[in-house]
Each structure stands twice: as C-alpha cells, then as structure tokens.
Amino acid sequence: MKAYVINHNPASKEIHRRDHLTDNCQIREIKDKEETDDYNKVYRLLKPRGSYNGCYYCYRNQHTD
C-alpha cells in the first residue's frame, strides 16, 4: 500500500492520504488513479505549485477550495 492516492481525473485532480482515508473518499470509484510513496511528487502536484487539491476528508490541511 502506498501512502498517497492521486486522482488524475481532470474534473477532480485530488490527492488522498491512505492513512487518513474516510468512506467519503470513495477511492474505489476513482478510475484514473495513481498510488505513490513519493512525497516530492505530491508536493509538486499540490497547489499553488501544481493544480491538485488535497482531499477535504483526508488531506484537509492541503484542501484549498
């Protein structure tokens, strides 16, 4: 199991943390999914450097809108 689950769907572009997943994350429903332990990659994807948002439920300190 990797630490981060990235939803690459252009309508979502959201990053989940496996240690904090909730039922609301619904990661089984994610079709364009990437799992990684590479925090540097996650860091680059997250706003404001990238265009990804932290999940409201499991990565709230990186959730910006």
What tokens were used for 23?
Answer: 């039922």
Answer yes or no whether residue 58 interacts with Zn ion by CB under 5 A: yes
Interface residue with Zn ion, options 42, 54, 55, 62 (CB under 5 A)? 55
Select 6 or 58, whichever has its Cβ closest to Zn ion: 58
Residue 40, CA distances (Å) to 45, 46, 48 in order: 9, 10, 14
Work out how close the CB of 50 gets to Zn ion at its nearest, in angstroms, rounded to a whole number. Answer: 17
In terms of Cα–Cα distance, which of 48, 52, 50, 44 is closest to 6? 52
Contact set with Zn ion (CB under 5 A): 16, 25, 55, 57-58
